[in-house]
Amino acid sequence: MAKSSTKDDFTLTDNSTGKSYTLPALTGSMGNRLVDISKLYPQTGILTYDPGFSSTAACKSDITYIDGNKGVLMHRGYPIDQLAKHSDYIEVCYLLLYGQLPTPEQKEQFDTDIKHHTLLHEQLIRFYSGFMRSAHPMAVMVGVVGALSAFYHDKMDITDPNEQRVAAHRIIAKMPTIGAYAYKYSLGMPFPMPRNKYTYAENLLHLMFSNPAEDYDINPVLAKAINLLLILHADHEQNASTSTVRLAGSSGANPYACVASGIASLWGPAHGGANEAVLKMLGQIGTSRNIPKFIKKAQDPDDSFRLMGFGHRVYKSYDPRATVLRESCHEVLNVLGINDPQLELAMELEQIALKDAYFIEKKLYPNVDFYSGIIMSALGFPTSMFTVMFAIGRSVGWISHWKEMLMDDHHRIGRPRQLYLGETERKFNPMDKRGHTEKKTSWSWLWGGGR
């Protein structure tokens, strides 16, 4: 608690005791005012309650800024639309990781460093054969990326900046190889070697779609679209997967294991899994005639159906990534000569939802996942690989946040508290004394029916 308060500070009054506490204010370089509650518990014994962390900043960060009301997203001060227009993914990786846009020499060096880490250890490649061919590629990603920790653990001193750098470069470099091999494995096809003559996006296309029996020509339209997708997914401040990586890393865990935990979190349909869910939903809707029925379903409080690709915890206006992708979606489909009825359906759905009172009132706008699935489908990616593509792009964000956290001298192990609603202390009843006095266990709870 601040010793002397200023007019910017906050006062918390405990009505039950009449005591008041001064809580210091914090201001960042941009954005909301914050109240510092870090000393609240040690000094007052009071905890705060904030499920889903809607009102809690868990760290300080210099990497990404979002203004959800205005639809602003900036990395290190550069607006996302400028990066999408003028940059390439490797440059954005450098920016996120090191804080500045690279000079030509720095970019070349960084590009070379990344290219020198794209191969997988032969032992790691054997991990794939332990999976069912039908396994979801995100399950394979969690396993194989986590397994990197078994290859690079003994030598790893996470406090050494040089080792942090090498770990970051390895993650950025190996993610396309690991992701593409998950796809090739599902098809029973041989694993192609990464090619250093290609850019990051071109290499990803080559790893995914080349066939050793034939020459593979990189289509520049596809490479441009991949580059854009990767840039748009590179970072998004303290989202669920990034916060998971930070929380896992806060205990000093191995960085590859931390990134695997981020992949697990990303997989959920409320987060990165939404791109896959959007396409499934469009398939379910089928034709524009059915749109009103699904819009109604999404508003029914007794129906768990949600309009996938709509809504965001932070954006209460258009997701700026969706704005960029929306344009690119049309361009890519035009250039490729694809007349995609699902895109038409998506556009109609978007227009109807944007005019609907429920969606207006709750400020539910299309998010990046609404368009990314359509574009990836046009590029030839199977639905199950959509979230893998997201994970490949986001890996630089995860590792940049991990590195930033470790470099912060004040970082502590993440350890949220809880509001306890369980039994108060009770006496242990031996088995032969238990009977009608014990509460019955609810079978519906045991079998997942909720509580």
| Contact status: 316 vs ligand ACO (CB under 6 A) | no
Interface residue with ligand ACO among 210, 242, 323, 367 (CB under 6 A) is: 367
Looking only at residues 242 through 271 of this chain, which bind ligand ACO when binding is defined by CB under 6 A? 270-271
Q: Which has the closest alpha carbon to 49: 423, 421, 436?
A: 421
CB under 8 Å to 179, separation ≥6 — which residues? 137, 141, 385, 388, 389, 391, 392
Interface residue with ligand ACO among 309, 373, 393, 397 (CB under 6 A) is: 309
**Position with the least CB separation from ligand ACO:** 311
Residues 321 and 394: beta-carbon distance below 8 Å: no
Q: Which is nearer to ligand ACO, 168 or 298 (CB)?
A: 298
9 φ, ψ to 5°?
A: -70, 175
Beta bridge pairs of residue 20: 13
| Contact status: 369 vs ligand ACO (CB under 6 A) | yes
| Contact status: 379 vs ligand ACO (CB under 6 A) | no
26 φ, ψ to 5°?
A: -125, 140
Q: Which has the closest alpha carbon to 141: 308, 262, 15?
A: 262
**What single-letter amino acid sits at 142?**
V
Q: Which is nearer to ligand ACO, 55 or 442 (CB)?
A: 55
Looking only at residues 26 through 55 of this chain, which bind ligand ACO when binding is defined by CB under 6 A? 52
The least CB distance from residue 258 to ligand ACO, in Å, is 19
The least CB distance from residue 304 to ligand ACO, in Å, is 10
Q: Which has the closest alpha carbon to 237: 369, 76, 387?
A: 76
| Contact status: 310 vs ligand ACO (CB under 6 A) | yes
Measured CA to CA, the distance from residue 93 to residue 394 in angstroms comes to 10
| Contact status: 360 vs ligand ACO (CB under 6 A) | no
Looking at the chain, the number of H-run helices and the number of E-run strands are: 19, 7
Distances from the Cα of 87 to the Cαs of 78, 84, 279, in angstroms? 11, 6, 29
Size of the site for ligand ACO (CB under 6 A): 19
Interface residue with ligand ACO among 55, 362, 407, 429 (CB under 6 A) is: 362
Q: Which has the closest alpha carbon to 73: 419, 399, 325?
A: 325
Q: Which is nearer to ligand ACO, 66 or 406 (CB)?
A: 66
In terms of residues, how long is the chain?
451
Q: Which is nearer to ligand ACO, 169 or 271 (CB)?
A: 271
Looking only at residues 47 through 106 of this chain, which bind ligand ACO when binding is defined by CB under 6 A? 52
Interface residue with ligand ACO among 230, 298, 375, 399 (CB under 6 A) is: 298
The least CB distance from residue 297 to ligand ACO, in Å, is 9
Q: Which is nearer to ligand ACO, 124 or 396 (CB)?
A: 396
The helix-helix angle for 161-187 and 255-266 (nearest 10°) equals 50
The least CB distance from residue 274 to ligand ACO, in Å, is 3
The least CB distance from residue 358 to ligand ACO, in Å, is 7
Residues 177 and 120: beta-carbon distance below 8 Å: yes
Instruction: Specify whether 14 is catalytic.
Output: no
Sketch the per residue contact string, 404 through 443, with ligand ACO: x for CB under 6 A, - otherwise.
----------------------------------------
Pick the catalytic residue from 206, 233, 236, 312: 312
> Of 12-20, 163-171, 281-289, 360-368, which part binds ligand ACO (CB under 6 A)?
360-368
Sign of the alpha-carbon dihedral angle for 334, 338, 344, 347: negative
> Of 102-110, 161-169, 303-311, 410-418, which part binds ligand ACO (CB under 6 A)?
303-311
Q: Which strands, in side-by-side order, build the sheet including 72-75?
A: 64-67, 72-75, 78-79
Q: Which is nearer to ligand ACO, 307 or 349 (CB)?
A: 307
Measured CA to CA, the distance from residue 316 to residue 360 in angstroms comes to 10
The least CB distance from residue 206 to ligand ACO, in Å, is 27
Pick the catalytic residue from 111, 235, 319, 369: 369
Residues 291 and 349: beta-carbon distance below 8 Å: yes
Instruction: Specify whether 312 is catalytic.
Output: yes
3-state secondary structure of 14: strand
Residues 124 and 151: beta-carbon distance below 8 Å: yes
Q: Which is nearer to ligand ACO, 185 or 315 (CB)?
A: 315
The least CB distance from residue 291 to ligand ACO, in Å, is 13
Measured CA to CA, the distance from residue 173 to residue 118 in angstroms comes to 5
Looking only at residues 173 through 192 of this chain, which bind ligand ACO when binding is defined by CB under 6 A? none
Given the rule CB under 6 A, which residues bind ligand ACO?
A: 52, 270-272, 274, 298, 306-313, 362, 364, 367-369
Tell me the catalytic residues: 312, 369
